[in-house]
Amino acid sequence: MFDGLLQPMHLLLIFVIALVVFGPKKLPELGKGLGEAIRGFKKALDEEPSDLTKAATPAKKEDEQKLQSKLPQ
């Protein structure tokens, strides 16, 4: 179904449509934003999960302690 989707002629057509819709002034900004988003996504995939959990764990414990201190006993 999508065998020939990324052929050069199709990519050229997509570029022309994007140029007409967004205009030549906005297109470089959109490309830059898309590139930064892809780089950020790749960076997030490459990070170890332990780095993310270590950063979140202390804040979570502090929040739990605050909630328990506010509960009526």
In a domain, 73, yes or no: no
Q: Quick check: is 6 in a domain?
A: no
Q: Domain for residue 48, yes or no?
A: yes
The kind and range of the H/E element at 1 are: none
Asked, for residue 61, whether it belongs to a domain, the answer is yes
Residue pair 22/14 in contact by the 8 Å Cβ criterion? no
* Torsion 52-57-63-68 (CA) sign: positive
In a domain, 58, yes or no: yes
pLDDT digits (tens, 9 = 90+) for 1-40: 567 777 889 888 988 998 899 888 888 898 899 899 999 9
Quote the domain boundaries for residue 44.
21-68
Report the alpha-carbon distance of residue 29 to residue 57 in Å, rounded.
37
pTM of the model: 0.45
| Pairwise pLDDT comparison (73 vs 22), residue with the higher score | 22
Asked whether residue 9 is assigned to any structural domain, the reply reads: no
Q: How far apart are the C-alpha atoms of 65 and 3, rounded to whole Å? A: 56
